[in-house]
Structure 1
Amino acid sequence: MGDDDYVYDEESGEWVPAAQLLQKRGAAAQIEVRDAVGNILADGDQVTLIKDLEVKGAGRTLKRGTLIKSIRLTGDPQEIDCKFEGIKGLVLRAEFVRKR
């Protein structure tokens, strides 16, 4: 779309430049995920556990201080997806990790 194209924004009820609407939607699509102490997490970050966590279905407990490498953000601001040896599909709550 060019700079002179205007589109109708249903939220505000106004005609706005297309570039402005795309920028507004892009900012809304970004989810801000924060760890237990308030640091912003991003894909690929390393985190450590701040609490012993019992992993349901795996029959083991991840101890406090365990390093989790290369996390991936999900669509939920409270959950992160990660890999850990021997556990498939591990999803952790952001409130139980701290950015390293």
Structure 2
Amino acid sequence: MAKDSNGTELNAGDSVTVIKDLKVKGASSTIKRGTTIKNIKLTSKDGEIECKINGVGTVVLKCEFLKKI
């Protein structure tokens, strides 16, 4: 079960906000704090989600850096 930084349960299709600047491994870009991500997908690992971000592509993020909207 995936939970955000506040302990709220995340479901597939939810929208979340990034609460901390995150460097993307293998790319020279950074996901800025406050970025809104829509339509997340849950992965087989607890505590991780998959999403698409403009300019970066598809990435896997840890839920501890996200807040449900």
TM > 0.5 between the two? yes
1:2-21 map, 5 Å: none
Deviations 1:51-94 (A, max 9, x none): 00011122111111100111000011111000001222300000
SS of corresponding position for 2:20: coil
After TM superposition, the score normalised by the length of structure 1 is: 0.66
Mapping 1:1-100, distance limit 5 Å: 32-100=1-69
Q: Which has the higher contact order (CA 8 A, sep 6+)?
A: 2
* More displaced stretch, 67-76 vs 55-64: 55-64
Runs of 4+ in 1 over 3 A off after TM superposition: none
Could you tell me the TM-score, scaled by structure 2's length? 0.94
CA distance, structure 2, for counterparts of residue 90 and residue 48 of structure 1 = 14
Percentage of pairs with the same residue: 51
Unaligned runs of 5+ in 2: none
Greater helix fraction, Structure 1 or Structure 2: 1
SS in 2 for 1:91: strand
Q: How many pairs align?
A: 69
**Secondary structure, counterpart of 1:42 in structure 2:** coil
Unmatched 5+ residue regions in structure 1? 1-31
Q: CA RMSD in A?
A: 0.8
Inter-partner Cα distance in structure 1 for 2:5 and 2:46 = 12
